[in-house]
Amino acid sequence: MNKLISRTLLLLITITLTSCNLFDSNDLSFEMIAFNSLTVEESELIPVSPKDSFVEKVPVTSENKPLIDKNYDKSEVFSVTFHHTEVDSSGKLTVFIDLDEKTVVGKGFTNK
Q: Tell me the percentage of the chain whose pLDDT exceeds 70.
A: 79
67-101 tens-digit pLDDT: 999 999 999 999 999 998 887 778 899 999 999 99
Give the residue among 12, 51, 56 at the shortest CA–CA distance from 35. Answer: 51
Chain-centroid distance of CA 27 in Å reads: 9
> What Rg do the C-alpha atoms of the chain give, in angstroms?
20
Q: Which domains does the chain have, with CATH numbers?
A: 26-110 (3.10.450)
4-14 tens-digit pLDDT: 776 676 666 66
| Single pTM value for the model | 0.75
CB 61 within 8 A of CB 74: no
d(CA 8, CA 28): 33
Give the ranges where the chain is alpha helix by DSSP (H).
2-19, 30-36, 40-43
d(CA 74, CA 112): 21
Give the residue among 45, 110, 106 at the shortest CA–CA distance from 78. Answer: 106
